[in-house]
């Protein structure tokens, strides 16, 4: 083994990766499937010859596996380049002709930024207030729907299933029931009104049981790289009766809902990852074990740093996410200290890292600004070990205690 290879091997072996809400390590079986597809299944799946149709068959088998993970019919799943494109297709496709968007201030930028564009184009955009802990109350959504102009066009409600920064899980099924009730009320009054619920479920799928039929959602976003799949591939579930205008044009692919040759290796890798994720979310004992590791991490830090704030602790949370606030400290300094000790963590969404402003998510939750500035996120995966959690807790405690001496509150 050469010097560079030894150095790389050493760095990888010493790394403790607790930034899994940003991305996950592709599973070995996923990486093998992607590599095999690159080498052996490189024909265009839209071709009519036998080779192309062999590839098409594998794309459709993967579609069935991913759709099955969310309890959806395969024909309802549209392949995209990732969660960002899927969110854009949901929002821009549903509201291309105008209407109203009801959402929250805690959404990922992949929803917030399209919402801002739609507002500039004349779409009415309403941000729902949050209850303590960061959840949307169904009654609040009902009030917002009642206030929408019935003649303004379709209404799209977009509320993420689980927050990428705090792990707070929204009552999606209850919100969907409110949307369904609003549709029924409109129909009873003789008003034909399109009211749909979209949820960005990129953080929930593969961590929690997700069933679009049972939940009653109309549109759902998911991404492969959040569940040990490859980057560059995602999907949008489109329910019956939902009318979307294509955002990306250039071919008849995906039932004319998203033009462009499919990312075959990514799609096949997504299918493998979906099968593994389905096994995991149905293993209650394994999920509970990993939730125990998250709790262990928080308890260790609380014992050593009693003033720490666990952001979102008052609401149901993902088993893997700990968002810890240290009053008077700076998240950037904590993260640099952790990185020096081989621990990978984050101050929030990876897409917005580098900003010195406190997280918009924590602001919307009305977290004290002195705490928000010092909040870091540690997110586990199903590959995380107890030894890694213990070592990360030791590193975080050491960093915070050292910073507390040089940056006194």
Q: Please list the active-site residues.
A: 351
Who contacts 405 (Cβ-Cβ below 8 Å, separation ≥6)? none
What is the Cα–Cα distance from 66 to 273, expressed in whole angstroms? Answer: 8
Residue 77 CA to its chain's centroid (Å): 17
CA angle, 99 then 362 then 111, to 5°: 30
Q: End-to-end CA distance of the chain, in Å?
A: 49
Between strands 343-344 and 321-325, the pairing is unpaired
What is the Cα–Cα distance from 61 to 58, expressed in whole angstroms? Answer: 5
H or E element, residue 287: helix 284-304
What is the Cα–Cα distance from 162 to 209, expressed in whole angstroms? Answer: 12
What is the Cα–Cα distance from 372 to 348, expressed in whole angstroms? Answer: 10
What is the Cα–Cα distance from 267 to 74, expressed in whole angstroms? Answer: 13
What is the Cα–Cα distance from 331 to 393, expressed in whole angstroms? Answer: 16
**Phi-psi group of 392: left, alpha or beta (phi > 0 → left; psi -120 to 50 → alpha; rest → beta):** alpha
Residue 396 CA to its chain's centroid (Å): 25
Burial of 61 (0-12, 13-18, 19+ CB in 10 A): middle
Question: Hey, which residues does 200 pair with through a beta bridge?
Answer: 221
Return the structure tokens found at 335: 């993260």
- Strand intervals (E) in 232-327: 234-238, 309-310, 321-325
């Amino acid at each position: 083994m050469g010097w560079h290879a030894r150095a790389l091997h050493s760095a990888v072996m010493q790394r403790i990766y607790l930034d899994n809400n940003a991305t996950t390590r592709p599973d070995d079986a996923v990486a093998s499937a992607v590599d095999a597809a690159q080498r052996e299944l490189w024909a265009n799946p839209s071709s009519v010859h036998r080779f192309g149709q062999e590839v098409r068959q594998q794309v459709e088998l993967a579609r069935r596996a991913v759709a099955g993970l969310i309890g959806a019919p395969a024909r309802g799943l549209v392949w995209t380049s990732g969660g960002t494109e899927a969110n854009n297709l949901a929002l821009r496709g549903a509201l291309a002709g105008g209407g109203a968007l009801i959402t929250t201030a805690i959404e990922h930028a992949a929803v917030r930024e399209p919402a801002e564009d739609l507002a500039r184009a004349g779409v009415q955009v309403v941000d729902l207030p949050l209850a303590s802990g960061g959840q949307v109350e169904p009654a609040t959504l009902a009030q917002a729907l009642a206030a929408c102009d019935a003649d303004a066009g379709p209404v799209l409600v977009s509320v993420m299933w689980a927050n990428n920064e705090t792990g707070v899980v929204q009552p999606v099924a209850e919100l969907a029931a409110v949307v369904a009730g609003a549709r029924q009320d409109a129909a009873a009054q003789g008003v034909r009104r399109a009211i749909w619920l979209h949820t960005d479920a990129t953080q929930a799928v593969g961590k929690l049981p997700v069933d679009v039929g049972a939940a009653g959602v109309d549109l759902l976003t998911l991404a492969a790289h959040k569940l040990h799949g490859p980057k560059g591939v995602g999907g949008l579930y489109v329910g019956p009766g939902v009318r979307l205008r294509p955002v990306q044009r250039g071919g008849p692919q995906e039932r004319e809902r998203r033009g462009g040759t499919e990312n075959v290796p990514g799609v096949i890798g997504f299918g493998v990852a979906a099968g593994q994720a389905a096994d995991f979310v149905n293993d209650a004992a394994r999920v509970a074990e990993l939730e125990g590791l998250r709790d262990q991490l928080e308890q260790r830090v609380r014992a050593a740093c009693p003033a720490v704030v666990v952001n979102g602790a008052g609401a149901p949370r993902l088993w893997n996410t700990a968002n810890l606030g240290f009053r008077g400290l700076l998240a950037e300094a904590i993260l640099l200290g952790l990185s020096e000790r081989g621990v990978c963590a984050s101050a929030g969404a990876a897409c917005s890292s580098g900003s010195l402003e406190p997280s918009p998510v924590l602001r919307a939750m009305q977290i004290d600004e002195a705490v928000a500035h010092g909040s870091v996120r540690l997110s586990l995966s199903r590959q995380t070990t107890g030894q890694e959690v213990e070592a990360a807790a030791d590193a975080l405690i050491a960093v915070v205690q050292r910073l507390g001496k040089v940056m006194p509150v």
